């Protein structure tokens, strides 16, 4: 089970501002999905190594050589707001009410 | 001569070599057909006809001058809209990327261009590939060319529908859990999920990075072998791409691998499998027996846990990948006045659709403090069990035969309010993505409503060539792949 309060907490972690209607709906839909996922607990996996990737790769390195990179104007071309060759963001330091 | 839309890619290549058709004529015929019929299918998000005709013209010119041409010369291709095309909108069918024009081409786009293929359109998809019906697209719903009341499957529904509607001879999609095999099955065409790492993911907008694979669609085994040969290969820009030579998939295509053993897993024939699908698959198995293949019953005992573990792994990776959509570097930014954190939250709330939010939430939950071990780590352990099921199967058989999906194409709207029912339509395709192995869906008949049924064949890592030869053997004695919908 996941209740609306928990949905609100997860939404905050995920940087989503959910509407009250979405909070209600997601609480019930996510609960059903998580119930379904809980069937994994039928399996004893105490001796199984987790598999995070299908290939047995370790570190993959490239030559430490300088190659051309994206020109600045092209990198900025899709930015919602830019000025003097920089991405522009709203004020970073702001007061955030504590959760709960 | 057959009209352009009835010809396979291989036939169109030959017609150009014989001087019967030019690349411009082929591209124009495809553009005309899209213009006339896409109102019924809604497969394409954007079409760039002028650019395509220009490219085709230069291919014709090079042919006239006797210059060497690539393996897909003059062939129109439809590309799923999650692969970057420089200066051409790449939206992932999401509002958050509605006006995004990538500054570079995906590796597969470079490869298509190098092979002298002509990308003529970008296809509709479930938003960020989150879905199995193409209904979660922020823009419109794609219809199944066999029945407009049915979904084309998803998430590469636009690519599969465009191919089935004969808008193009070849299409490219991507697969994270079945997003090419399932729509190929629903639309009566072929779809291949290559071995993880076989095709570069550079420029494929990420969903689940340990699962995603660019995946070709074609109408017969020869076209599929040809297209896969172009797309496959190592790319240093994708650190997970496999550094192994690409075989000439066309060279041994006609060698019927009669001595091979094909495994039929009991777990894929249980509750929930539609009787018509079961019948068609059983008939296909008999066809293989008649062709001289040995049929062996096998077990893949963890199949029932595939969806549960997949939806944890895939959504966890998706929630991380989609963190990059922050309204700063590209994509939608809220018009509301807000500080930095609120700007993030509002931009994402406005830009993402319902299913994207649901998956971000599920993945964030599975990775969050207190739940990581119970969900994410548990799912990774079950992932290994799924892979070991296949490892054991390969000791007994050369490939696995099973249904691609438990049902044929369902009705538009039927599952949109029931996410779990939608997820379960991927039950037979998810295991290959979890294990990393290649799998292909090929048409093997129709149900009582005239909807296509897909047969899935899976093989060990890097055995794409085996899949093509098995499919080819099937297609030499059947004609399901030649049937086409009336539009």
HEC-encoded secondary structure of B423-438:
HHCCCCCHHHHHHCCC
In a domain, A54, yes or no: no
Which residue, among B218, B216, B215, B214, has the nearest Cα to B205 in the 3D structure? Answer: B214
Rg (CA), chain B: 21
In a domain, B90, yes or no: yes
Provide the domain count of chain B.
2
The strand pairing partners of A37, in sequence order, are none
Report the residue from B348, B362, B368 with minimal CB separation from A15.
B348
Task: Decide: B127 and B409 in contact? Cβ < 8 Å.
Answer: no
Calculate the average pLDDT of chain B. 97
How far apart, in whole angstroms, are the C-alpha atoms of residue B397 and residue B61? 49
How far apart, in whole angstroms, are the C-alpha atoms of residue B6 and residue B436? 34
Report the residue from B307, B339, B387 with minimal CB separation from A91.
B339
pLDDT of residue B1: 84
pLDDT of residue A50: 96
- pLDDT tens-digit profile of A63-79? 899 999 999 999 999 99
Q: How confident is the model at residue A95 (pLDDT cuts 50, 70, 90)?
A: low
Helix ranges, B291-334 (H) = 306-321
In a domain, B200, yes or no: yes
pLDDT of residue B68: 97
Q: Which two tokens stand for residue A5?
A: 């309060």
Distance from CA of B327 to the nearest CA of A (A): 7
Residue A96 has pLDDT above 80, yes or no: no
B476 touches chain A (CB under 8 A): no
Report the residue from B103, B331, B382 with minimal CB separation from A45.
B382
How far apart, in whole angstroms, are the C-alpha atoms of residue B31 and residue B54? 13
Please classify residue B141 by burial: count the beta carbons closer than 10 Å to its beta carbon, then call 0-12 exposed, 13-18 middle and 19+ buried.
Answer: middle
Continuous segment of H or E residues that includes residue B389: helix B378-394
The answer on B121 and B43 residing in a single domain is: yes
Buried b (16+ CB within 10 A) or exposed e, B158-181: bbbbbbbbbbbbbbbbbbbbbbbb
Q: Residue B190's domain spans which residues?
A: 4-262+400-482
The answer on B71 and B144 residing in a single domain is: yes
pTM over 0.90: yes
Residue A34 belongs to a domain with what CATH number?
1.10.20.60
Q: How are the residues of chain A apportioned to helix, strand and coil, as percentages rounded to the nearest 5? A: 40, 5, 60
Report the residue from A48, A52, A74 with minimal CB separation from B385.
A48
- pLDDT tens-digit profile of B231-255? 999 999 999 999 999 999 999 999 8
Residue B120: helix, strand or coil by DSSP? strand
How far apart, in whole angstroms, are the C-alpha atoms of residue B229 and residue B96? 34
pLDDT of residue A55: 87
The answer on B225 and B135 residing in a single domain is: yes
Q: Residue A13's domain spans which residues?
A: 1-40
Question: What does the pLDDT average to over B70-94?
Answer: 98
Rg (CA), chain A: 22
Residue A100 has pLDDT above 60, yes or no: no
Indicate the DSSP class of residue A42: G
The answer on B341 and B220 residing in a single domain is: no
Which residue, among B183, B414, B185, B179, has the nearest Cα to B318 in the 3D structure? Answer: B179
> CA geometry: angle at B303 spanning B302 and B306, to 5°?
100
Question: What does the pLDDT average to over B281-300?
Answer: 97
Residue B257 has pLDDT above 90, yes or no: no
B194 touches chain A (CB under 8 A): no
B46 touches chain A (CB under 8 A): no
In a domain, A32, yes or no: yes
The answer on B363 and B235 residing in a single domain is: no
| ipTM for the assembly | 0.93
Residue B256 has pLDDT above 90, yes or no: no
Tell me which of B30-34, B422-426, B478-482 is least confident.
Answer: B422-426
Which residue, among B459, B112, B443, has the nearest Cα to B281 in the 3D structure? Answer: B443
pLDDT of residue A57: 77
By DSSP bridging, strand B118-123 and strand B76-80 are parallel
Question: What does the pLDDT average to over B373-381?
Answer: 97
**Chain B nearest-CA residue for A54:** B436
Q: How confident is the model at residue A94 (pLDDT cuts 50, 70, 90)?
A: low
Q: How confident is the model at residue B373 (pLDDT cuts 50, 70, 90)?
A: very high
> CA geometry: angle at B92 spanning B143 and A35, to 5°?
80
421-450 in chain B: CB under 8 A from chain A: 423, 434-436
Which residues, 6+ apart, have CB-to-CB distance to B37 below 8 Å? B165, B167, B487
Which residue, among B179, B196, B195, B176, has the nearest Cα to B187 in the 3D structure? Answer: B179
**Chain B nearest-CA residue for A33:** B420
pLDDT of residue A58: 79
B416: Cα separation from own chain's centroid: 21
The answer on B333 and B216 residing in a single domain is: no
* B-chain residues near A82 (CB < 8 A): none
Q: How confident is the model at residue B265 (pLDDT cuts 50, 70, 90)?
A: very high
Residue B295: helix, strand or coil by DSSP? strand
Q: Which two tokens stand for residue B204?
A: 């494929």
- pLDDT tens-digit profile of B31-45? 999 999 999 999 999
In a domain, B213, yes or no: yes
Angle between helices B221-231 and B107-114 (to 10 degrees): 110
Q: Which two tokens stand for residue B275?
A: 């009787």
Mutation site, B364, B424, B437, interface A, largest A CB count within 10 A: B364
Peptide bond into B229 cis (omega under 30): no
- pLDDT tens-digit profile of A4-47? 999 999 999 999 999 999 999 999 999 999 999 999 999 999 99
* A-chain residues near B312 (CB < 8 A): 37, 40
Query: Is the CB of A17 less than 8 angstroms away from the CB of B103?
Result: no
In a domain, A6, yes or no: yes
B311 touches chain A (CB under 8 A): yes
Which residue, among B357, B401, B158, B434, has the nearest Cα to B268 in the 3D structure? Answer: B401
In a domain, B449, yes or no: yes
Task: Decide: B469 and B253 in contact? Cβ < 8 Å.
Answer: yes
Residue B229 belongs to a domain with what CATH number?
3.90.1300.10
Annotated active-site positions of B, please? 80, 155, 179
Provide the domain count of chain A.
1
In a domain, A20, yes or no: yes
- pLDDT tens-digit profile of B166-196? 999 999 999 999 999 999 999 999 999 999 9
Query: Is the CB of A37 less than 8 angstroms away from the CB of B312?
Result: yes
Question: What does the pLDDT average to over B131-155?
Answer: 98
- pLDDT tens-digit profile of B439-477? 999 999 999 999 999 999 999 999 999 999 999 999 999
The answer on B84 and B191 residing in a single domain is: yes
How far apart, in whole angstroms, are the C-alpha atoms of residue B188 and residue B45? 21
The answer on B253 and B109 residing in a single domain is: yes
Asked which of B380, B413, B448 is the last residue of a domain, the reply is: B380
In a domain, A85, yes or no: no
> CA geometry: angle at A71 spanning A67 and A74, to 5°?
135
The answer on B216 and B176 residing in a single domain is: yes
């Amino acid at each position: 089970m996941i209740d609306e309060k928990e949905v609100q907490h997860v939404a905050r972690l995920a940087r989503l501002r959910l509407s009250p209607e979405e909070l209600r709906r997601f609480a019930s839909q996510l609960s059903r999905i998580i119930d379904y996922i809980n069937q994994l607990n039928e399996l004893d996996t105490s001796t199984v190594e987790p598999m995070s990737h299908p290939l047995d790769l370790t570190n993959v390195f490239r030559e430490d050589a300088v190659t051309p990179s994206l020109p600045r104007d092209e990198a900025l071309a899709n930015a919602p707001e830019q000025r003097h060759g920089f991405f522009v963001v709203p004020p970073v330091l702001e007061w955030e009410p504590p959760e709960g | 001569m057959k009209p352009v839309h009835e010809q396979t890619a291989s036939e169109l290549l030959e017609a150009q070599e014989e001087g019967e058709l030019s690349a411009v004529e082929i591209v124009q015929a495809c553009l005309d057909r899209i213009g006339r019929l896409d109102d019924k299918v809604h497969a394409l998000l954007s079409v760039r006809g002028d650019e395509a005709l220009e490219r085709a013209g230069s291919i014709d010119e090079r042919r006239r001058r006797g210059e060497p041409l690539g393996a897909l010369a003059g062939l129109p291709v439809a590309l799923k809209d999650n692969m970057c095309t420089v200066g051409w909108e790449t939206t992932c069918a999401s509002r958050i990327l509605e006006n995004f024009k990538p500054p570079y081409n995906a590796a597969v786009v470079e490869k298509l261009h190098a092979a002298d293929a002509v990308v003529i359109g970008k296809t509709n998809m479930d938003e960020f590939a989150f879905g199995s019906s193409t209904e979660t697209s922020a823009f419109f719903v794609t219809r199944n060319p066999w029945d407009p009341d049915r979904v084309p499957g998803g998430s590469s529904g636009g690519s599969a529908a465009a191919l089935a509607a004969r808008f193009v001879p070849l299409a490219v999609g991507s697969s994270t859990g079945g997003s090419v095999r399932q729509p190929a099955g629903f639309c009566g065409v072929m779809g291949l999920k290559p071995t993880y790492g076989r095709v570069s993911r550079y420029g494929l907008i990420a969903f689940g990075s340990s699962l995603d694979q660019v995946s070709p669609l074609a109408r017969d085994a020869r076209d599929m072998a040809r297209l896969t040969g172009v797309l496959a290969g190592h790319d240093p820009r994708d650190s997970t791409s496999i550094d192994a030579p690409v075989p000439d998939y066309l060279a041994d295509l006609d060698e019927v691998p009669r001595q091979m053993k094909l495994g039929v897993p009991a777990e894929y024939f249980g509750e929930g499998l539609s009787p018509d699908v079961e019948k068609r698959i059983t008939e296909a198995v008999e066809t293989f027996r008649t062709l001289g293949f040995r049929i062996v019953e096998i077990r893949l005992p963890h199949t029932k846990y595939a969806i549960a573990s997949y939806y944890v792994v895939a959504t966890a990776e998706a929630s991380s990948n989609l963190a990059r959509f922050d309204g700063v570097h590209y994509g939608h930014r809220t018009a509301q006045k807000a500080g930095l954190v609120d700007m993030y939250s509002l931009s994402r709330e406005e830009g993402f659709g319902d299913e994207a939010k649901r998956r971000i939430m599920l993945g964030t939950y599975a990775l969050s403090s207190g739940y990581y071990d119970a969900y994410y780590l548990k799912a990774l352990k079950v992932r290994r069990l799924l892979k070991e099921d296949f490892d054991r199967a390969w000791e007994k058989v050369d490939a696995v035969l099973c249904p691609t999906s438990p049902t044929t194409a369902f009705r538009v709207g039927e599952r949109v309010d029931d996410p779990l029912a939608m997820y379960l339509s991927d039950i037979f395709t998810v295991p290959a993505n979890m294990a990393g192995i290649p799998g292909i869906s090929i048409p093997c008949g129709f149900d009582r409503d005239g909807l296509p049924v897909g047969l899935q064949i899976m093989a060990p890592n890097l055995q794409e060539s085996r899949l093509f030869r098995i499919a080819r053997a099937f297609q030499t004695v059947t004609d399901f792949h030649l049937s086409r919908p009336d539009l």
